[in-house]
Structure 1
């Protein structure tokens, strides 16, 4: 039985996982996904990129607040599958994705301020008879 390899860099070990993205708009929303299998490095890169885009663009609609939160939690759970993999072995194809900065070290993490400020505003409005 052969071991599966990453769909991007073709290195092993890899695991089948799907990461999601979400973009909220005022009256519509759009979902995206990236299917594996991914090695550890490529999987972390895809997770971080898709989650960063969701942090920036995911909150801009009434139902998107909930959808974006769900997508971020789902991605974080699935991130564990690729993070537990050992480093991928070197193969003939050295093209791989660079995982880059951790998600909360990126400027996209400021996107978390949108729901936080919304909660503060709603709480302030309710406290002041709003």
Structure 2
């Protein structure tokens, strides 16, 4: 046997129950939350939007919801003996999460990106320069506020204090040696 559900109740309250009484809308606004008056014609700009009442939209970080954030793409290059791999992480990041992403991907690029001839001469240095431009964009942001979700990334050590980045010294020295031999000889 099924009980009839009243058409005005989306939760299916049982007729005759405690929640059957219809609720009336309050005639006055809730105390403490007055309605804002509509702007008059002189206050509105030529587009019709009122600047005093418009809430500014500020992008938030897609990792920790920190604000402010900026749209940035950080790249990673991996040069294998036969193949070249290119990866990119694009999104809105706050200063802390963007720094962590930059440091992680750039350190991986520094030790994985030299093992193909084209990578060593062209693609790896180009990836590092593009990442430095992304880092400059991230550096212009102020520090984000308190991390409400607890998901903010830890920036960790700077790039050249990581052991993975120090591996890049050997191939980079070899590339500089070959380039200097080509120029001199």
Specify if TM > 0.5: yes
Match of 2:139 among 76, 83, 89: 83
**CA distance in 2 between partners of 1:78 and 1:99 (Å):** 15
Question: How far does residue 126 in structure 1 lie from its aligned partner after superposition?
Answer: 8.3
Higher relative contact order (CA 8 A, sep 6+): 1
Which residues in structure 2 correspond to 1:18-97 (within 5 Å)?
18-65=73-120, 66-97=122-153
Whole-Å separation in 2 of the counterparts to 1:11 and 1:126: 49
Aligned pair in 2 of structure 1 residues 92, 24: CA closer, same or farther (>3 Å)? same
Structure 1 counterpart of 2:161, from 105, 123, 129: 105
Cα distance in 2 for residues equivalent to 1:73 and 1:115: 15
| Structure 1 position 8 matched with structure 2 position 63 | yes
Over 3 Å counting, the alpha-carbon distance change for 1:89 and 1:61 in structure 2 is same
Report runs of 4+ in structure 1 exceeding 4 Å deviation: 121-127
Alpha-carbon distance in 1 for matches of 2:58, 2:142: 14
In our comparison, the structure showing a higher alpha carbon Rg is 2
Provide, for residues 37-65 of structure 1, a one-character-per-residue CA deviation record: whole Å limited to 9, x for no partner: 00000000000000001001001101111
Q: Select the structure that is richer in helix.
A: 1
TM-score (norm 1): 0.89
| Unaligned segments of structure 2, at least 5 residues | 1-55
**1:109 CA displacement:** 2.3
Shift in Å, 1:89: 0.9
Q: Secondary structure at the match of 2:82?
A: coil
How big is the alpha-carbon RMSD for the aligned residues of Structure 1 and Structure 2?
Answer: 1.9
Cα deviation 1:57-114 (Å, max 9, x = unaligned)? 0011011111011000100111011112111011531210011111111112221331
Query: Residue 34 of structure 1 aligns to a residue in which SS?
Result: strand
